[in-house]
Amino acid sequence: MVCGEIPKAVNLYEEAVQLLVKSCGELSRDCADAYYCCGSALLELGRMETNVLGAALEGDEDDEEDE
């Protein structure tokens, strides 16, 4: 996720998890790293989206105060 393309990373990690689950099983220890990386990417995506929405909401509050 160093590349900064979080949505792309999420999609790729999801594909990796699906492939590992098919070959190893859902609860296999071989899937642990993929689950962790996918979860981390999802967390970063959530933070990124929250920052975007938070900035938009802060802008709305300023508009109301001006009226």
| pLDDT tens-digit map of 14-24 | 999 999 999 99
d(C-alpha 1, C-alpha 51), whole Å: 18
40 contacts: CB under 8 Å, gap ≥ 6: 1
Identify the pLDDT of residue 32: 96
**Of 63, 62, 57, 15, which is closest to residue 37 (Cα–Cα)?**
15
pTM of the model: 0.69
Structure tokens at 55: 């900035």
Structure tokens at 24: 């190893």
